[in-house]
Structure 1
């Protein structure tokens, strides 16, 4: 009887220690997984798209706008970047200048500036558009000196006359050269003026059009990343 009782105590001791060991291993594994996830989150960098209705994806689902398509590309390549869509329909360079400081309260690694189209369509003086874009670039550099800036070039129909149209187109490469920043020559390349790639207003791209916009952006963005 005594031997049987001792055997039971011994078995219980082995069982308890075995459970503790298993629990310790599970805890260690869980802590490692949490640590890895936290490290990955810490290492994730951000790309902020700051623009108007083209960036916001007016008329298409949010996940069809070109910044979201860029995120899908980044995820497929397992790059440590998170896209932030800060597009606002109707945004001009003037309103963007007023909004950018608030947007930059969060840390940014890459800043994609897509503004100016609404200025051109409204016939805002070229000097004012150029000054506002420069102010936005200056603010980004001041608040986050390490952020890489990409400027998206824009063109407009010749409604305002050939001189205005030409001056407007030149604003973007001139600013890119002056500030030594990356330039996407024309965001709407192969989309602007193509009826089947634009919505009924003839201005805002369809979901298919946004895929081409994403491709236009990616040509420059991939070199930065």
Structure 2
């Protein structure tokens, strides 16, 4: 734990939001690998930017090329991965950006901690469960990861050798075995509009 540090405040989130006339939120997309999280986040990011809404996507794989390149896939590393992303997403939301996170984030306690971090900062946190049955995502398997996990090549693989704890009460529940990417984006957009986030 760092010592001899002092928080330097300046403009509050409310002041920033008033000045730039934008709201900041975090949309937390969670689900199994190949459920469609990143695909939906990419399409949503494009849509929001086209509408003049400042948005930025934090993607599970992309983050591991930089910020989290020192982390593996043990439970401890996954916890730290999500802790760091929670903090980064909070900063984006505080800057009045729509932060789109697409992470498997398999453990409920980690997602609950991300929510609490936002709640404590009075920033909206919207959990989006990108739901698809295991048999569907295994058939998709665009990266060949499920095949490798079944063969024992990849250890600690969510849905096969590691658990996935589905959200109990997500704000948005998508079913990507039944809905297209465009339909999923519109479900999210409708929710954001109804809640006056955009």
Whose relative contact order is higher, 1 or 2, with alpha carbons under 8 Å and at least 6 apart? 2
Q: TM-score, normalised on structure 1?
A: 0.45
Query: Relative to total residues, which structure has the larger helix share, 1 or 2?
Result: 1
- Higher Cα radius of gyration: 1
Q: TM-score, normalised on structure 2?
A: 0.50
